[in-house]
Structure 1
Amino acid sequence: MTGNTLGLDKILNALFTPYKERVPDVNKITQAMVAKGLINDDSEILNDHIAFRTLGVPHLGIASFEKIFLHYGYKKKSSYVFDKKKLDAFWYEPPYSHYPRIFLSELRVSDLSKQAQNIISKYTSSIITDPVDAIDLNDYEKVGSFFYKPLWKLPSKEDYLLLLKESEYAAWVIYNRYYLNHYTISVHELPGQYSKLENFNTFLESIGITLNTSGGIVKTSKDGLLKQSSSVAKIIKAKFANDEEHMISGSYVEFAERLVLPEFKSIPKKKLTKEHRRDGFESANADKIFESTYLEQTTKNIN
């Protein structure tokens, strides 16, 4: 590992601070958890994973973006394919257990219509070298600011809406770029009944959090050991080229319960560690979690 833990801490803080400001559900949930006595403050929340979306075009995508986290000691793990959404993804294991996993997805742009490909090319074709290669990856301040750097010009409202019709993922990325898509609360680390996702979801709904219902509120892996839910992204006002405005989907919050692996069932809860629980991801779960920014879900927020 050529990076350092201080640098990784700084990078994650640089990601999370603007994310909290843009996603009001983050503070709403945290404050309610404190009021309920589940935590004393947000530092006690274990972040299961964070996720980013990318475009599969030359000099961008996973091959570019992953360099940052590989530099800081993350290890590339399993791959996932989402045929209907035209996406590929990988997850990355953190260098130390208290850091979040990383989930990187990439749109297979070449699988889209010519019209959609041409729109994406209009904004990305000027990128002729990998922008990550231009960063000193040991300079965590520059790395942290990179996630919000405008790598291409602001799209027009017309182009955004045309992409939206074919791929809501493509539309989200063309506007939001590398913005943090979501972070994830490790529900199994919470006290008492709230360590079960179904109970925590009831708590979330009681404080007015709208949950993604695609595939059911709780998405469960085939082995039954990974349960996931997510809030629905809020609709936010976005400014496009020529000062045009339009309401679009922002980011959201995810919630995960990783159950204990069968061979470790006899271990007392207080002695359980990350290594004793189900790791990795499940493509069927992730497929539905993606839809937390899709109109079918986000329009439920509109009265």
Structure 2
Amino acid sequence: MTPDTLFDALWNDYIKRLCPSADKVHRLLREDEALINDHIALRTFNCAPLGIATIAQPFLEAGYVACGDYEFESKKLVAKHYEHPDPKQPKVFISELKVDECSTELQQIITKLVEPLDHSKLKGHEFLSGGRLWDVSYADFQILAKESEYASWLAAHGYGANHFTVSVNQLNEFEEVQQVNDYLRTSGFSINEAGGEVKGSPDVLLEQSSTMADKVAVRFTEGVEMIPGGFYEFAKRYPMSNGELYSGFVAASADKIFESTNNE
């Protein structure tokens, strides 16, 4: 299996189910060459067998290797990022919710969702872009959202790319992340302003921004509701002392990027 197989499936699911507006953004920013995808992000629970290791396995089989580790204490999250030996392949950022550190009520809801899972559905790579592996009520979604937006998003949407990311370094028309933001705002898109429109700085070798998540239709046991789906991110990387572009992530910036799926 090649990385292209994985990312094609994830992209098609992303623009169809999670972030339809990304296709329009993609066309707005595309120039003479195909856009470079800097990275994707995936979410999961730390409940066996749904942890980071399981989500990462298809990427490891496609040649990826683990690189950085991150922690987001206030959100009760940990994350790892993975890179491919071919630097043209997107990086992969996988986070998980430490369910055992959350309230008893949240733990009970998540356990109810994941305990009946058929573990055979986690084999191969298809589940990564397959959406939800469980049924969930809108009432439980609302309870989760009060404590953890992350938990409610994952419970509602299941697996798929939370976001794709345009590499601003590649663009000819725009040199700065802020310029991309300004252009997209004039085209009708909302930009995540948590922690400032541009997260990070040249000093930390990475600048990031993102649209606010699309509102998409999700079927709950009580019926269909419109809730935040996926969003599109933009990243500019700066060279390290050896001249190579920084390839990691900045936890303080990523923490604010998570808020792109907040329910405004």
- TM-score where L is the length of structure 2: 0.93
Structure 1 contact 15–144 (Cα < 8 Å) conserved: no
Partner residue, 2:104: 114
Judging by fraction of residues, say which structure has more helix.
1
User: Which residue is equivalent to 2:5?
Assistant: 10
Please say if residues 221 and 285 of structure 1, whose CA atoms lie closer than 8 Å, have aligned partners that are also in contact: no
- Following superposition, the deviation at residue 130 of structure 1 comes to 6.8
Q: Does 1:164 align with 2:145?
A: yes
The answer for the alignment partner of 2:95 in structure 1 is: 105
1:126 and 2:116 are equivalent in the alignment: yes
**Deviation sequence 1:46-103 (CA, Å, 0-9, x none):** 1000000001112112021111111111010111000000000000012311110000
Does 2:264 align with 1:285? no
Contact 2:121 2:127 in 1 (8 A): no
**Pick aligned residue for 1:95 from 85, 103, 116:** 85
* C-alpha distance in 2 between matches for 1:178 and 1:14: 12
**Equivalent residues of 1:221, 1:284 under 8 A apart:** no
Give the aligned partner of residue 148 of structure 1: 130
Q: CA deviation at 1:179?
A: 1.6
**164-173 vs 93-102, which deviates more?**
93-102
| Matched residue count | 263
Judging by fraction of residues, say which structure has more strand.
2
Q: Determine the structure 2 residue equivalent to 1:178.
A: 159
Unaligned residue ranges in structure 2 (runs of 5+): none
Give the alignment partner of residue 25 of structure 1, picking from 5, 21, 26. Answer: 21
Q: Is 1:232 paired with 2:228?
A: no
Q: Residue in 1 aligned with 2:229?
A: 250
In structure 2, distance between residues paired with 1:146 and 1:290? 19
Cα deviation, 1:278-298, whole Å, max 9, x if unaligned, reads 110000000000000012xxx
Q: 2:169 aligns with which of 184, 188, 191?
A: 188
Residues 183 and 149 of structure 1: CA distance in aligned 2, closer, same or farther (over 3 Å): closer
Compared CA separation, residues 146 and 217, structure 1 to 2 (3 A): closer
Q: Following TM superposition, by how much is the alpha carbon of 1:261 offset from its aligned partner in structure 2, in angstroms?
A: 2.3
Q: Secondary structure at the match of 2:71?
A: strand
Q: Matches of 1:291 and 1:85 in 2, distance apart?
A: 10
Aligned pair 1:75/2:75, yes or no?
A: no
SS in 2 for 1:110: helix
Unaligned runs of 5+ in 1: 138-142, 265-275
Deviation at 1:127, TM superposition (A): 3.1
Residue 214 of structure 1: SS of its match in structure 2?
Answer: coil
Matches of 1:202 and 1:237, distance apart in 2: 28
1:19-43 C-alpha deviation (Å, 9 max, x unpaired): 1223232122223235xxxx03xx6
Evaluate the alpha carbon distance shift between residue 214 and residue 13 of structure 1 in structure 2; reply closer, same or farther with a 3 A threshold.
same
Q: Is the 8 A contact 1:157 1:241 kept in 2?
A: yes
Partner residue in 1 for 2:221: 241
RMSD, matched Cα: 1.8
Residue pair 2:228, 2:262 contacting (<8 A) in 1 also: yes
Partners of 1:51 and 1:181 within 8 A in 2: yes
Deviation at 1:195, TM superposition (A): 2.2
Quote the Cα distance in structure 2 between the aligned partners of 1:24 and 1:174: 20
Alpha-carbon separation, structure 1, partners of 2:98 and 2:194 = 22
**In 2, Cα distance between equivalents of 1:252 and 1:168:** 15
Equivalent residues of 1:64, 1:130 under 8 A apart: no
Indicate yes or no: 2:241 matched with 1:259: no
Higher Cα radius of gyration: 1
